[in-house]
Amino acid sequence: MNLLSYVELDTQLLGKFVDKKKDHDSAKGSIKYLALHLRFEVDMVAYSLCEFRGGESERRELQAYRKSHFSLLIERLKNSTSPISPMVLRKMGRYPLTPEEPALVLAGHGFKCGTYVYLAGSGIYGADSRMNPFTRLYINLAALDFIGYATADVFFMTNSGSQLSVMVSGFRSYYGGDHAPTLRPNKKRLAAILW
């Protein structure tokens, strides 16, 4: 498959996505949706060096994952003279948000339980056969996520260091102006409240 066919597939999917949204809008009044870029995969959690209230079993599981996937990180930790504790990292805002934390932030902003949410993350796409053409390469999935995030009424980025989040928020700022808000939670303040 070449780049042109990727573009054609992405354009076709975008057309279906927009048509479906228009159908909902005309049938039930204006339906808005929020796009949530939740980065809480095991690699993000392990690399963050934070703890997530899972106790000793969580610590062992994440340490084993680090040893098998992040050998350079393990070497740096061994050579470090003053390791930073997980709680200090959290207070500095250097941790991925748990799935519950964005829900609390959204509730604080007045979003209701019936809000439509576009959520991307590992393992979501495999369940739907319509997504089969896109499961071969991650670039296809990233393109679909970009479309879902860029066209959302509100975009919630849980990890401001993610390349995709930065691209989407830049795109939304440039093309959407005041009509394409992006939520960027202050993780330091959130940690002070919740932890």
Residues 106 and 15 in one domain: yes
Asked if the model's pLDDT at residue 112 lies above 80, the reply is: yes
**Tokens encoding 125:** 């796409």
Asked if the model's pLDDT at residue 56 lies above 90, the reply is: yes
Confidence tier at 127 by pLDDT (50, 70, 90): very low
Residues 19 and 61 in one domain: no
- The answer to whether the CB of 63 falls within 8 A of the CB of 42 is no
- Measuring CA to CA, how many Å separate 79 from each of 53, 75, 157? 27, 6, 33
Confidence tier at 159 by pLDDT (50, 70, 90): confident
More confident residue, 78 or 143: 78
- The answer to whether the CB of 95 falls within 8 A of the CB of 192 is no
Confidence tier at 41 by pLDDT (50, 70, 90): confident
Taking Cα atoms as reference points, which of 96, 86, 88, 85 lies closest to residue 160? 96
pLDDT for the residue 155: 92
Residues 61 and 150 in one domain: no
pLDDT in tens, 61-84: 999 999 999 999 888 888 888 878
Residues 33 and 119 in one domain: yes
Residues 136 and 74 in one domain: no
Task: Among 91, 107, 127, give the residue marking a domain's end.
Answer: 91
CB within 8 Å of 122: residues ≥ 6 apart: 41
Residues 132 and 154 in one domain: yes
Task: Among 91, 106, 123, give the residue marking a domain's end.
Answer: 91
Residues 31 and 60 in one domain: no
Q: Count of domains in the chain?
A: 2
Residues 135 and 184 in one domain: yes
Question: 148: burial class by Cβ within 10 Å (0-12, 13-18, 19+)?
Answer: buried
Owning domain of residue 133: 3-40+97-194
What is the C-alpha to C-alpha distance for residues 117 and 34, in angstroms, rounded to an integer?
5
- Helix (H) / strand (E) containing 34: strand 33-37
Q: Tell me how many degrees the CA angle 61-64-67 measures, rounded to the nearest 5.
A: 150
Residues 36 and 49 in one domain: no
Residues 86 and 102 in one domain: no
Residues 50 and 21 in one domain: no
Task: Among 91, 120, 155, give the residue marking a domain's end.
Answer: 91
Asked if the model's pLDDT at residue 13 lies above 90, the reply is: no
Q: Are strands 182-183 and 116-120 parallel, antiparallel or unpaired?
A: unpaired
More confident residue, 40 or 122: 40
Share of the chain above pLDDT 70, in %: 74
Phi, then psi, of 124 in degrees rounded to 5: -75, -40
Phi, then psi, of 155 in degrees rounded to 5: -115, 125
pLDDT for the residue 17: 59
Share of the chain above pLDDT 90, in %: 12
pLDDT for the residue 2: 36
Residues 34 and 48 in one domain: no
